[in-house]
Amino acid sequence: MTTSPKISGRVFSGAQPSGNMHLGNYLGAFKNWARLQDSYEALYCIVDMHAITVWQDPLILQAQIREAAAAYIASGVDPARSILYNQSKVAGHAELAWIFNCVARLGWLNRMTQFKDKAGKNKEKASVGLYVYPNLMAADILLYKATHVPVGEDQKQHLELTRDIAQKFNSDYNADIFPLTEPVIMGEGARVMSLRDGSKKMSKSDPSDMSRINLNDNADTLAAKIRKARTDAEPLPSDASGLQGRPEAANLVGIYAALMDQSRDSVCAEYEGQGFAEFKKALTDVVAAKLAPITEEMARLQKEPDYIDGILLDGAEKARVLAAPVLAEVKRTVGYL
């Protein structure tokens, strides 16, 4: 248990158990979650209710929930210090999401770029859940009156919507209930791109496994993925301004910088003039060294499903205790008897 005093404020974040956790999740989210738990009371949720907004095979979903828990813990989330649980165990998420469905406006949801990306051309066939997904996300955060939400850059628009919902609720009901949550988007890893296409983010749902480094890839697999990653023919520039207009090159330098807690400028200074064939070797060493302990710990934890289930059960109990007074306050405010 930590003895360091906590800063006032509460952190909430989550990830969908809808496929392989990857380097983008680690650098954009998990790595920062582990850091923030030293200073803040933190809840880290496996958002299984969000996951089913697109089809999930039930047996695979169960395995993926446990795998997500293993990924959080292996990345440094400490269940003794932070609350780790899966969303569907705390009914308050769904209850508050319904109230927010009645607060958020259609026009706001129509602007969400993630819905447009995920629904694609055939949006008539998308689930209604996918459309109202951002309201559930606002409920996740505000159910605990979280003040800080560490995420990758792709979640920025959803967090702006969360603030809009908080503000509208407070103003509609003339009540000062919800805080205006701050996004925490940290460092060079906030937007890790696909290894095959520097204009697309690294994603669980990319059909090409070569586009991402999974947290459970072994050393040979990740070496092959980095070797085959797209780059250009130019050498590394002297500083990061020379990476402009070179998205694939910028991405590889960014991954190195994020893993080593350096800036892109300092990575460029170190490797200035070298070709990407050389740089990729250095990058492979860094990725392998940083990910190996995580991959090993994930594999170890996944052999102990009862241990993981116990942590999730315990986390859900703690989360329910924190959610109860907020939900009661909201229900009173809305006028429920």
Backbone angles phi, psi at 102, to 5 degrees: -90, -10
The DSSP output letter for 198 is T
How many Å apart are CA 305 and CA 238, to the nearest integer?
48
Tokens standing for residue 99: 């109230």
Q: Does residue 204 have an active-site annotation?
A: yes
Q: Residue 70's closest CA among 278, 262, 301, 253?
A: 301
Please tell me whether residue 144 binds ligand TYM under the rule CB under 6 A.
Answer: no
Q: Please, are residues 10 and 40 in contact by the beta-carbon 8 Å criterion?
A: yes
- Binding string to ligand TYM for residues 260 to 289, with x set by CB under 6 A, is what? ------------------------------
How many Å apart are CA 337 and CA 95, to the nearest integer?
15
Q: Which of 6, 89, 156, 204 is catalytic?
A: 204
Residue 129 neighbours by CB distance under 10 Å: 14
Restricting to residues 109-138, name those near ligand TYM by CB under 6 A: 137
Tokens standing for residue 28: 């954009």
Please tell me whether residue 145 binds ligand TYM under the rule CB under 6 A.
Answer: no
Residue with smaller CB distance to ligand TYM, 307 or 318: 318
- Binding string to ligand TYM for residues 171 to 200, with x set by CB under 6 A, is what? -------------------xxx--------
Q: Minimal distance in Å, beta carbon 27 to ligand TYM? A: 6
Q: Minimal distance in Å, beta carbon 3 to ligand TYM? A: 28
Amino acid at 184: V
The strand order across the sheet containing 148-150 reads: 83-86, 41-46, 10-15, 148-150, 182-184
Q: Minimal distance in Å, beta carbon 110 to ligand TYM? A: 18
Please tell me whether residue 64 binds ligand TYM under the rule CB under 6 A.
Answer: no
Name the residues annotated as catalytic. Answer: 118, 201, 204
By CB under 6 A, name the binding residues for ligand TYM: 12-16, 24-25, 27-29, 47, 50, 137, 140-141, 149, 151-152, 154-155, 158, 190-192, 201-202
